[in-house]
Amino acid sequence: TKGTHALVSARAKDAVDRVATVLEVQGVLKSPQENKVEQSKIDVKATVLYDERTLDVSKGATGSLRSMRHYDRAEAKITLPKKEYAPTLRPERRLIGVEVGDDEVTLFSPRGQLNRDELDLVDLLAGSLILDRLLPERPVAINEPWTYSNETMKAVFGLDRIASQTVKANLTTIDAKSAMIEMAGRIEGTVNGVKTRLDIKGKCRFDRKTRRIDWFGLLVKEDRDIGPAAPGFDVVARLQVQILPRNESKSLSNAALAGLPLRSNEALVRLIHEPREGGWRFEHDRRWFPTGGDDRFSYLRLIDQGDFVAQCNVVTLKQVEPGKQATLEQFQR
């Protein structure tokens, strides 16, 4: 109608994009310590750069989406008061499949199982495949607000349940080149059964020539309770995503993907736990979360729909001479 604008994505099957994402997080962790909560500063910076080929497209805010990504860069630096570590993606796991349902996102590698750090590194909020669901489903006028379904907010922000949300968006500016969308609101829900509260502000730029989102910026203030498998936190996260169309990607060509499973299966969604010098490894489903340890000790907790179900402690025994057994006292120690 007169005065309204249809902002419909032109994403098509086999379209290839170049995606660069930077996530910065600052704030405090909240950990239980002898009947009190101890707070410690945390600083995170994650940078990922990948090509993405769309495999399946659905219109609107429902239906399935699929893509395959090849990461040229995937790294993070996490700084705590007495610890600093930098998870990366192994070279043999740089091919990542993405599947989006109505309200959840699943990432996996067709070349083998990921570990928990690798999954967390590639499973950032507001993934590039799902950003189209932030566009209005009807033609809108400037400053005409619209809302999002709980299913869309769950998928965009990686939540498993939403108790309430007030996120609204509107078209703020439009010209011959682009349209700018702004959104803001509050979301209350759970992640792995743990209560969390998010105050969000976002901006989204829609390129009117390519009819695709080419930039997305997000500011999130999150206050998450302490959970049975992870500390709570009170942080501010800043996310920027840039998307540019490409003609092709050799790493995602038909020849490069030939013979690989392009859909997830039960085996590929399992994770691998393998200490660097532990001399052992095992598979586990995604309900198990490492909660501590070192090269000799590993502690994992099973969280099922928010409930702490079980704990698994693994200890590497000291080596004994060939042909001999550890004594009972050595085993107990």
Quick: pLDDT tens for 56-84: 998 767 788 999 999 999 999 999 988 89
Quick: pLDDT tens for 199-240: 999 999 999 999 999 999 999 999 999 988 889 999 999 999
What does the buried/exposed string (b/e) look like for 307-316 if buried means 16 or more CB atoms within 10 Å of the residue's CB?
A: eeeeeeeeee
The amino acid occupying position 28 is V
The CA distance from 60 to 134, in Å, is: 9
- Interacting residues of 9 by C-beta distance below 8 A, sequence separation 6+: 132, 135, 211, 212, 213
Q: What is the DSSP string of 197-235?
A: EEEEEEEEEEETTTTEEEEEEEEEEEEE---SSS-EEEE
Quick: pLDDT tens for 237-259: 999 999 999 999 999 999 999 99
Taking residues 148-164, report their average pLDDT. 94
Q: Is a pLDDT exceeding 70 seen at residue 298? A: yes
Taking residues 5-31, report their average pLDDT. 96
Cβ neighbours around 150 below 10 Å, total: 17
The CA distance from 159 to 3, in Å, is: 36
For residue 170, what pLDDT band results from cuts at 50, 70 and 90?
Answer: very high
Q: Provide the pLDDT for residue 333.
A: 78
Answer for the pair 16, 53: CB distance below 8 angstroms, yes or no: yes
Exposed/middle/buried for residue 20 (C-beta within 10 Å: 0-12, 13-18, 19+): middle
Cβ neighbours around 27 below 10 Å, total: 18
Taking residues 284-311, report their average pLDDT. 87
pTM, two decimal places:
0.92
The CA distance from 34 to 65, in Å, is: 46
Quick: pLDDT tens for 109-136: 999 999 999 999 999 999 999 999 999 9
